[in-house]
Amino acid sequence: MRKAFRKIMSAMLTGVMSAAMLSGLRVMSASAANIQWKFDFGGNGTASGYTGVSASDGYHASRGYGFSSGTNVTNVAASGSGALSDAVQFKNSTPNGKYTFCADVPNGLYQVSVRLGNTTRTSVAIEGMLQIINMTGNGAYHTLQVPVTDGQLNICACAGKEGYPYSISALEISQISTQTHTNPTIWVCGDSTVCNYYPLNSSAQAGWAQMLPDLVSGSGWQVMNMAASGQYARGFVQGGQFTVIEKNGQPGDIYVISIGINDTNSKNNTTAEQYQEIITDMTKRAQAKGMRVILVKQQGRNGDCQRNPLLKSRWYNGTLDKVSAETGADVVDLFNLWQNDCLKKSAADVSKLYMDDGLHPNRAGATRLAELMYQVMNVGTAAVSDEPSVPDNPSAEITDTPAVHPASGYPLLQGDLNSDGRINAIDLTLAKRTVMNVSPYRYVQAADLNGDLKADFADIQEMIGYLTGSVTEFADTKYAASEQQYSQGVHESTNAGFSYKDYLNLDNNSESNVTFAVNVPYSGNYLCTFNIANGSANDRSMMISVNGGNDKWKQSFLTTGAWTTWEERGIVLPLNAGINQIKLQSNTAEGGPNLDYLMLSFTDEPVPAPYDPADEQPVTVQPVSDP
């Protein structure tokens, strides 16, 4: 027998509030302290349903909102209607959170929606960090999730383009949950081929990350696009765009780095070696937070697919392979994905995907680029709820599965909690949430990496070790007997010595049975080890079948001497890749032994010959009943 199961898996699975404050507060649901502020900034009256805020309204705790001390703002007109007919213009605010508008809120996660006044280009800092980059156009709108941990949300408009005014017309703050971290997020670093253009839903020019939210809609992911026109790698870090990613990024989040076009410009003075150093540094810092990093080789220009010979890459694309080799980050070759896609089109049709400059995608081009990225990113379905929890339905549907215990659902591969075919930082996030919360058995079973039939901090350490390379094997997978589909039996915890929270005691007759639903990564022979107790003096043998097949194997379960003495008994069985049913049918009037767990180990030992009734020898059975 060889203990190679885990090695092969490793290769395969890549308050109290004042009355004044309450006047601007609205209860959104009865299930939590969800609140909503709606602020109308400026001096031209207050729109219905809003709380008016003038430039002269300094912060005061009795009302719970206002401008921080020293903030220089003035009321200005705006070209919209209602709440958008006026605004407050910020004159000395900074991206790192000095001189802001303040709103007292309980700690939690909030949906923050911003409407600008008249603007050429404006960025927005929230909680002391740039979080919305370069909104353009009068009344521009953006919404995002923001965690608050200090009881107050701080926000300001700041320069998107030096020399131009920046203002806010309206602000809405709605509580999502009481958790103080963002839901699963795809963070994006990039330049003008990636960034947002406004209005987001109708701009003629678009960056591909602008179109990504439509593709992940309903999956539980949000997209935080921190890309900016003209940006380069060093500027992204030094300008503060990486700050919110590093602070708010959570284990299991995705960080996409698609930048480099402007790094090759001599004015930015970035050599290939410096570019590699900066990208490597960002990658490692994101990975230290438990995020999955995707490095993108950026798409080419209009006309590249008409070249002969074809280009293999542009800019500093090749340097990303070196970063990947050092850090283990994923690499997406968008250059060749895009070029191959364009080769299927005429030159005229390809031109229809670009702006006139031949570099920037238009809305149609950005949409197609986003589709290509989405297809290879393999983001799956993220776990999202009012509080951290594990989703009831992982992203990868498994069809034609056998019926299993209704409390279990289909079993998951060990370590692969989101069932996407590999173990990565997303699974680490789900494992942490499994440990923190009461989760369905199948998540606990999948998160159990050390073979103790529970999910706890030790398993988290195992997964971290796996992701960092210090752990190459997990303990063999175990399945608790009492969590399986069974007929004529009961859960029991009377007799000590079992490993799980309880064990399965089958009734004393030949009709009692249990079917284990198991999940294996590939077809082959597996040593199936059952932890059993048999206080009877007799062999409580059982007939075993796999996936309803005609072949049966008679498994002996000889006495263990006492009902509190638990011992392992094993048999090699053939299993198919995916989900299998292993059925144990009692073979005597005494029923089967008490069953604790089934453990699976890949092996090269042969499967024994199936049961042949002709081989039976007469056996004298002494009647002994279960205690």
Residue spans per domain, the chain = 17-180, 182-385, 398-474, 479-615
Q: Which of 38-52, 434-448, 498-512 has the lowest average pLDDT? A: 434-448
pTM exceeding 0.75: no
Round to whole Å and give the CA distance between 225 and 258: 11
| pLDDT given for residue 70 in this prediction | 94
Rounded to an integer, the average pLDDT of 98-107 is: 93
| pLDDT given for residue 266 in this prediction | 73
Instruction: Give percent of the chain above pLDDT 90.
Output: 67
Do 182-385 and 17-180 have the same topology in CATH?
no
Q: With contact defined as beta carbons under 8 Å apart, do 162 and 107 qualify?
A: no
Rounded to an integer, the average pLDDT of 542-549 is: 93
Q: Which of 139-143, 181-185, 445-449 has the lowest average pLDDT? A: 181-185
For the chain, the C-alpha Rg in angstroms (whole number) is: 30
Which residue in 357, 400, 612, 615 is the catalytic one?
A: 357
Instruction: Give percent of the chain above pLDDT 70.
Output: 87
| pLDDT given for residue 382 in this prediction | 58
- In 298-345, DSSP assigns E strands to 330-333
Q: Is 244 left (phi over 0), alpha (psi -120 to 50) or beta?
A: alpha
Could you tell me the pLDDT band of residue 367, with boundaries at 50, 70 and 90? very high
| pLDDT given for residue 618 in this prediction | 55
Give 607's DSSP letter. Answer: P
Give 436's DSSP letter. Answer: H
| pLDDT given for residue 438 in this prediction | 63
Helix, coil or strand: residue 288:
helix
Could you tell me the pLDDT band of residue 566, with boundaries at 50, 70 and 90? very high
Q: Does domain 182-385 have CATH number 3.40.710.10?
A: no
Each residue of 410-451: pLDDT tens digit?
Answer: 788 999 988 777 898 888 888 887 887 667 788 899 999 999
Whole-angstrom CA distances from 32 to 148, 174, 372, 605 are 16, 12, 40, 57
| pLDDT given for residue 622 in this prediction | 52
Q: Whole-number mean pLDDT of the chain? A: 85
Round to whole Å and give the CA distance between 49 and 51: 7
Whole-angstrom CA distances from 372 to 215, 336, 521 are 11, 11, 28
Each residue of 277-294: pLDDT tens digit?
Answer: 999 999 999 988 888 899
Each residue of 513-539: pLDDT tens digit?
Answer: 999 999 998 899 999 999 999 999 999
| pLDDT given for residue 160 in this prediction | 78
More confident residue, 100 or 624: 100
Round to whole Å and give the CA distance between 205 and 353: 10
Round to whole Å and give the CA distance between 143 and 170: 12
Which CATH superfamily, name and number, covers 398-474?
Dockerin domain (1.10.1330.10)
Each residue of 204-240: pLDDT tens digit?
Answer: 999 999 999 999 887 788 999 999 999 999 999 999 9
| pLDDT given for residue 614 in this prediction | 77
Rounded to an integer, the average pLDDT of 314-321 is: 89
| pLDDT given for residue 389 in this prediction | 31
Provide the CATH number for the domain formed by 479-615 in this structure. Answer: 2.60.120.260
Each residue of 328-347: pLDDT tens digit?
Answer: 888 999 999 999 999 999 99
Establish whether 192 is a catalytic residue: yes
Question: Does the pLDDT value for residue 409 go beyond 80?
Answer: no
Which residue in 85, 123, 192, 324 is the catalytic one?
A: 192
Question: Does the pLDDT value for residue 503 go beyond 90?
Answer: yes
| pLDDT given for residue 327 in this prediction | 84
Backbone angles phi, psi at 113, to 5 degrees: -120, 125
List the structure tokens of 300.
Answer: 């080419």
Which residue in 360, 439, 545, 586 is the catalytic one?
A: 360
Question: Does the pLDDT value for residue 375 go beyond 60?
Answer: yes
Residue type, 391: P
Q: For 179-193, b where at least 16 C-beta lie within 10 A, e where not — what string?
A: eebbbbbbbbbbbbb
More confident residue, 97 or 145: 145
Give 20's DSSP letter. Answer: H
Question: Does the pLDDT value for residue 619 go beyond 80?
Answer: no
Could you tell me the pLDDT band of residue 269, with boundaries at 50, 70 and 90? confident
Which CATH superfamily, name and number, covers 17-180?
Galactose-binding lectin (2.60.120.430)
List residues bridging with 514 in a β-sheet: 486, 584
Q: With contact defined as beta carbons under 8 Å apart, do 420 and 429 qualify?
A: no
More confident residue, 14 or 532: 532
| pLDDT given for residue 568 in this prediction | 96
Question: Does the pLDDT value for residue 398 go beyond 80?
Answer: no
Could you tell me the pLDDT band of residue 463, with boundaries at 50, 70 and 90? very high
Question: Does the pLDDT value for residue 109 go beyond 50?
Answer: yes
Could you tell me the pLDDT band of residue 391, with boundaries at 50, 70 and 90? very low
Rounded to an integer, the average pLDDT of 495-523 is: 94
Round to whole Å and give the CA distance between 302 and 349: 10
